[in-house]
Amino acid sequence: MFVDAPKEVRDTDVSAVAALDEPTRRRLYDHVVRQPSPVGTDEAAAAFGLARKTAAFHLDRLADASLLDVVYERRSGRSGPGAGRPAKLYRRSTKQVAVTLPDRRYELAGGLLAQAVEESDATGEPVRQVLHRRAEELGARLGEETETNVLDLLERHGFEPRHEDDSIVLANCPFHALAREHPQTVCGMNLHLLRGVLSGLGEAEIEACPEPRPGRCCVRLRPTA
């Protein structure tokens, strides 16, 4: 729950966004998503005065990029022998595509915050206490479910870790806008998330310490005292 997409999925999202850079393809995409029902190649071609092969090429590229789903339907409404072959149609994909630079993970933060509010309302436990516990549990799962080291795991989740002297600084905050507006809540969540990551990885020689600085994550990883 709340585990972010791995790097290969984010790379696919970047490729999907890049596919929309071609003007004709973007117009076809916008046309398809505005329609109340799936769109056929002939209909899309006619909408923009394109050759059928041109429209089919761009629609298939959009489908390959997971921006459109392909479905097959008989538009005559008939079925059985003599009904003809189902038409190949396109509709908006159910896949959600999001690309942010630098890397941001607001869905993860939002999920943890919503879970904390709901659990606090049901049990009476203070919201912040629930948030810290749930963040640490999630971090531990992330650490336990990976076979990589702490630097690779943090890089994968957008923290941009860098060695500095004997510690690890995190050059990027994946929760930047939230942390800027609500530092006590979000930075506390992040601290416990990273403590959980270290625990899940079995990193007994490193500890997560609060150390807010401009332009960086509020947590630094230091050798255990």
Domain residue limits, the chain: 7-92, 106-223
Arithmetic mean of pLDDT over the chain: 88
pLDDT: which is higher, 166 or 7: 166
Across 19-23, 30-34, 193-197, least confident range: 19-23
Using the predicted structure, report yes or no on whether residue 3 has a pLDDT greater than 60. Answer: no
Q: Are the C-beta atoms of 6 and 57 separated by less than 8 Å?
A: no
pLDDT band at 1 (very low <50, low <70, confident <90, very high): very low
Task: In whole angstroms, give the CA distance from residue 56 to residue 139.
Answer: 45
pLDDT score at 95: 80
Using the predicted structure, report yes or no on whether residue 211 has a pLDDT greater than 90. Answer: yes
Identical fold, 7-92 and 106-223? no
pLDDT score at 2: 47
Task: In whole angstroms, give the CA distance from residue 32 to residue 10.
Answer: 24
Q: Pick the most confident of 12-16, 19-23, 54-58.
A: 54-58
Using the predicted structure, report yes or no on whether residue 28 has a pLDDT greater than 60. Answer: yes
Domain 106-223 has CATH 3.40.1000: no
Q: Is the C-alpha dihedral spanning 79, 81, 83, 85 positive or negative?
A: positive
The conformational region for residue 170 under phi > 0 = left, psi -120 to 50 = alpha, else beta, is: beta
Q: How many residues does the chain have?
A: 225
Using the predicted structure, report yes or no on whether residue 81 has a pLDDT greater than 80. Answer: no
pLDDT score at 103: 81
Question: 7-92: which CATH topology?
Answer: Arc Repressor Mutant, subunit A (1.10.10)
pLDDT: which is higher, 144 or 5: 144
Using the predicted structure, report yes or no on whether residue 115 has a pLDDT greater than 70. Answer: yes
Using the predicted structure, report yes or no on whether residue 161 has a pLDDT greater than 90. Answer: yes
Which of 76, 92, 73 has the alpha carbon at shortest distance from 33?
A: 92
SS3 106: helix
pLDDT band at 100 (very low <50, low <70, confident <90, very high): low
Which two structure tokens, joined as six digits, stand for 156? 């994968």
